[in-house]
Structure 1
């Protein structure tokens, strides 16, 4: 793994350095004030990646790096979306993305929502009704920024889940990597394994 996108790190700002070791360095991170949430981007130390900028929110919900790799300018985000309907989260994330029109994007993380209720969730009807609004926000975000789900592109009808809710008795695919359509030309050693 050359780039690791971490979510739910639950670290204080002063403790984020603990994620580093002789193999990986922290390129960006965000911590919540109360040791909840938290995201980080770790980069393998020997990866020749020119980081131009890094940034984050102040609530442990997203961080990013803007970098050059083999003359490709890209922004890589680690995202931990709220587990409730929150349009302001997607609005703030979208504003950061729109500040970098010269980049292609890779956004990975826990989105706490499904893109397609028919494929990404095995549910009961109560869970479906509660998740529709969040799913709509996520789909609108992806559409507005022209981001794709490469796993779904390769597996158009497969069902695979990353989360089980014992409360709702449902399985969901809520962890994703989204990317710009132009990322298919990126050298494979940069993409996540």
Structure 2
């Protein structure tokens, strides 16, 4: 009964992390252990550096469903893992041939959800993201969550260096606003300066890993935090989403009347 109750929980947690390569067996073991400790409903990984026939190399007990997008070479790579405990039903999967993104559509707690896991390229990241959003316009709605390594800080608060925001960043932020997408972390923590990446080459900290959601779903976003990672040059971000109100309404809808 406890397992069934867990499966019907109205809470969902998503976690995203750039793992910076998974070719080492020791590192794969550490990542798998870390995922089990964090216990998310959905786990999004970027920069896996695995080929399409190496899906088995990252096995996590309790996360049988591993969906991945990989290029021909062992570069980039994005993956989405879903917990066996979650009542998550996948209807559609879209994979980028270069391994820069993967999209899944499905239902959680009988509610539609679209997840877009992005690993933006190191060069021309704003242009890439802007074009991707344009291409996916029909797929993005109020139940869409975009996670991943965008490879660019969206605001001046998201980095320790004080460079001016260039035109490409401004245009990208305008595009996000046009599509009613917001940076959930910055929305819930408007004055907090926390970072997810350290550049040893430039000696700067920045937040280039993001979780974006629709403005209409802001009341569902319960909590978001940055989680330190010791096996990657990135930190993770974890979001908790609450579908409780909608679930309660459904319960009331299906409640039988007692007649006397």
Aligned to 1:140: 174
Unaligned runs of 5+ residues in structure 1 are none
Q: TM-score, normalised by structure 1?
A: 0.84
Question: What do the CA deviations read for 1:25-84 (whole angstroms, capped 9, x no partner)?
Answer: 335321121101110000001211111111121111110111111232121111111122
Shift of 1:185: 5.2
SS at match of 2:202: coil
Cα distance, 1:62–1:182 mapped onto 2, change above 3 Å:
same
SS at match of 1:115: coil
SS at match of 1:13: coil
Unaligned runs of 5+ residues in structure 2 are 1-39, 223-237, 241-260
Q: Is the 8 A contact 1:22 1:45 kept in 2?
A: no
Q: TM-score, normalised by structure 2?
A: 0.64
Match of 2:183 among 149, 153, 163: 149
Which deviates the most, 12-21 or 98-107? 98-107
SS at match of 1:148: strand
Alpha-carbon distance between aligned partners in 2 of 1:101 and 1:170, rounded to the nearest angstrom: 33
Alpha-carbon distance between aligned partners in 1 of 2:159 and 2:53, rounded to the nearest angstrom: 38
Number of aligned residue pairs: give it: 185
Shift of 1:101: 5.4
Cα distance, 1:70–1:184 mapped onto 2, change above 3 Å:
farther
RMSD, matched Cα: 2.4
Alpha-carbon distance between aligned partners in 2 of 1:187 and 1:70, rounded to the nearest angstrom: 16
Match of 2:81 among 32, 42, 53: 42
Match of 1:120 among 141, 151, 158: 158
Shift of 1:150: 1.4
Cα distance, 1:21–1:121 mapped onto 2, change above 3 Å:
closer
